[in-house]
Amino acid sequence: MAAQEQYPLTSTNLLQSLSSTDRAQLLSIGSVDRVEKNALIFHAGAPSEYVYIILNGQAKIYELSPQGKEVIMWFCFSGELFGLAEVWRGTHRDVYAQACSAVDLIKINRKRFRQYLMDDPAMAMRVIDILSGRLRILGDMLLNLTSNDVTARLVKLLARLFQRYGSSRDGRIYINIPLTHQEMADMIGCCRQTVTSTLGVLKRTHGLRSDRRMLYMEAESSQVAAETLTKLSIDLAESTI
Amino acid sequence: MAAQEQYPLTSTNLLQSLSSTDRAQLLSIGSVDRVEKNALIFHAGAPSEYVYIILNGQAKIYELSPQGKEVIMWFCFSGELFGLAEVWRGTHRDVYAQACSAVDLIKINRKRFRQYLMDDPAMAMRVIDILSGRLRILGDMLLNLTSNDVTARLVKLLARLFQRYGSSRDGRIYINIPLTHQEMADMIGCCRQTVTSTLGVLKRTHGLRSDRRMLYMEAESSQVAAETLTKLSIDLAESTI
DNA sequence: ATTATTTTGTCGCCCATACGACATAAACAA
DNA sequence: TTGTTTATGTCGTATGGGCGACAAAATAAT
């Protein structure tokens, strides 16, 4: 299990892995756009006309149940590609993409993107790699959801966030996204109140802190923070047995 | 939601969509193998050396929690490709693949397969399409799991199975896989007993029947069977509100 | 056919979590 | 600043469904 937490960052980051000529070419077939915080980039039911690459900011990809329950599938950061899954068939979207901050992005027509991939097999391989990685992550989420309780799920989520998005500032490791309890609940499939209280326990019993919706820990590196939490999650799993 | 149930079969079936020359070429870079019923084709932790295409029979792809809980991600039928998600990075598997019947399959070395895709962009596009489809399915499962109760999840599962694998025999529509209650439980994330009793209710109150582990309904076509169940699932969702 | 193994059907208990309800606090707007 | 909105913290209650237990039935093995 532990190994699954360690997907290399590059697996999800498209832009970073590109040569500058590739990057230029991507820019040339797409157009740069800016969306303000909280705006929907696309919504379920909409036609799938574009794929997107984030230049700056964060967006969340989620589904919405008929009863209005959000299920957040992932957060996208700069360099990441999204909106790909439905675009091939050209069917309508079945997820929502919403900006969590002001976002700059490249928007590429699906047919052009497809053509681009046809002409550049290496790039197509990158895309396959990205999709594979997401598949593994969703599989992991599925496993988590069905076989761990809320505490374990939350701890694992935090471990993953620290690992992927943790950054150091005056001796503390921060998760660089302001997350509400509701959003965390939507990521691990439970209700907001449960997140509030579970987080409360973690704050009281382990060194978790928060400041203006940013979670942090006292640790030397995000690796250490993530590992501390991962160990904790293993302990939890074992104590349950 | 209803629309999401209707992924065209082709989206998952690789072989069917190939020209005979492509098929021949695939065969030439791989080797044909046979595994007996219940044998593991690969297991979590194993190195990812091959991708597989089923010629005959069925296999299930699942994860296993440390506590031994199975989470079935999908069943693969003839023509379908599997074992792809981890193969790119060459990391170890994190899922299990197990034959549900005697299975004939093509086994292709990962590097060769990659080279093949590099040389044949159209094929790479097909693979992207397949991965995208699976991503949507997993997303759908995730949504289901967090926002529907067991009855709704089971009904939806049956609808999907009837739709994709339903076949007609003397006026009845059968799901052509012998499924145990445990397996269904593993597909919808609940325990075996709950499947048994929920299935019991469906059998008593709606025209569901079973014979030697094969579920069937009296209906004109698998479409009709699937639609009946889909409507039922919608009714259930609304009555809950 | 006979035995062994796996699956199904059914109960009852119990507990993790959902959900409603509010009070408080923080963030945002004007 | 002051009001307005949105997020957090904390109850108490209700319940879906997990889990153990065991008998009956169905499959598989010898």
Cβ-based contacts of B241 with chain A (< 8 Å): 67
Contacts of B214 (CB under 8 A, 6+ apart): B174, B175, B176, B177, B178
Kindly tell me if the per-residue pLDDT of A231 is higher than 60: yes
pLDDT at B68: 87
A62-76, A96-110, B69-83, B227-241: least confident range: B227-241
Which of A163-172, B83-92, B133-142, B212-221 ranks highest by mean pLDDT?
Answer: B133-142
| Continuous segment of H or E residues that includes residue B119 | helix B110-119
Return the biggest CA–CA distance within chain A.
56
Kindly tell me if the per-residue pLDDT of B7 is higher than 60: no
* CB atoms B131 and A129 under 8 Å: no
Mark out the alpha helices in chain A (DSSP H runs). Answer: 20-29, 110-119, 121-147, 150-165, 181-188, 192-205, 222-240
Mean pLDDT along residues A59-63: 94
Confidence of residue B235 (pLDDT cuts 50, 70, 90): low
pLDDT at B86: 82
pLDDT at A12: 63
Contacts of A174 (CB under 8 A, 6+ apart): A166, A167, A168, A214, A215, A216
* Amino acid making up residue B155: V
Kindly tell me if the per-residue pLDDT of A196 is higher than 90: yes
Instruction: Quickly give B71 CA vs C3 C1' distance in Å.
Output: 33
pLDDT at B194: 97
CA atoms within 13 A on the CB side of A159: 23
pLDDT in tens, B70-89: 999 988 888 899 999 887 77
Confidence of residue B24 (pLDDT cuts 50, 70, 90): confident
Whether residue A135 contacts residue A11, with contact meaning beta carbons closer than 8 Å, is answered with no
Whose CB is within 7 A of strand C?
A 149-151, 189-191, 193-194, 212-213; B 180-182, 192-193, 196-197, 199-200, 213
Instruction: Quickly give A212 CA vs D2 C1' distance in Å.
Output: 22
pLDDT at A3: 35
Give the minimum alpha-carbon distance from B111 to chain A in angstroms, rounded to a whole number: 12
pLDDT at B11: 54
Q: pLDDT over 90 for what percent of chain A?
A: 52
For residues A22 and B85, the model is more confident at B85
Instruction: Quickly give B35 CA vs C6 C1' distance in Å.
Output: 22
Q: What is the mean pLDDT of chain B?
A: 86
Residue indicated by tokens 């497809």: A114
d(CA B203, CA B195) in angstroms, rounded, equals 12
pLDDT at A236: 63
Kindly tell me if the per-residue pLDDT of A143 is higher than 90: yes
**Closest chain B CA to residue A11:** B89
Cβ-based contacts of A128 with chain B (< 8 Å): 84, 88, 117, 124, 127-128, 131
Q: Rounded to two decimals, what is the model's pTM?
A: 0.88
Instruction: Quickly give A212 CA vs C26 C1' distance in Å.
Output: 9
Confidence of residue A11 (pLDDT cuts 50, 70, 90): low
Mean pLDDT along residues A76-90: 86
Among A40, A52, A96, residue whose Cα is nearest residue A70: A96
End-to-end CA distance of chain B: 17
Kindly tell me if the per-residue pLDDT of B27 is higher than 60: yes
Bridge partners, residue A31, by sequence: A107
pLDDT at B118: 93
Closest nt to residue B200, judged CA to C1': C9
pLDDT in tens, B101-134: 899 999 999 999 999 999 999 999 999 999 999 9
Confidence of residue B153 (pLDDT cuts 50, 70, 90): very high
Optimal mutation site among B138, B141, B184, B240, interface A, most CBs of chain A within 10 A: B138
CA B218: distance to chain centroid?
A: 23
Q: pLDDT over 90 for what percent of chain B?
A: 53
Confidence of residue A90 (pLDDT cuts 50, 70, 90): confident
pLDDT at A113: 93
Q: Kind of pairing, strands B208-211 and B59-64?
A: unpaired
Mean pLDDT along residues A174-192: 94
Among A225, A216, A150, A223, residue whose Cα is nearest residue A187: A150
Q: How many beta carbons lie within 10 A of that of residue A90, not counting itself?
A: 12
Give the three-class secondary structure for B229: helix
Optimal mutation site among A113, A115, A132, interface B, most CBs of chain B within 10 A: A132
SS (H, E, C) B51-83: EEEEEECCEEEEEECCCCCEEEEEEECCCEEEC
B71-80, B165-174, B221-230: least confident range: B221-230
For residues B171 and A34, the model is more confident at A34
Mean pLDDT along residues A82-97: 88
Instruction: Quickly give B72 CA vs C14 C1' distance in Å.
Output: 28
Confidence of residue A97 (pLDDT cuts 50, 70, 90): very high
d(CA A80, CA A100) in angstroms, rounded, equals 14
Cβ-based contacts of A145 with chain B (< 8 Å): 142, 145-146, 189
pLDDT in tens, A198-211: 999 999 988 899 98
Q: pLDDT over 70 for what percent of chain B?
A: 90
Cβ-based contacts of A4 with chain B (< 8 Å): 94
* CB atoms A71 and B122 under 8 Å: no
Kindly tell me if the per-residue pLDDT of B220 is higher than 50: yes
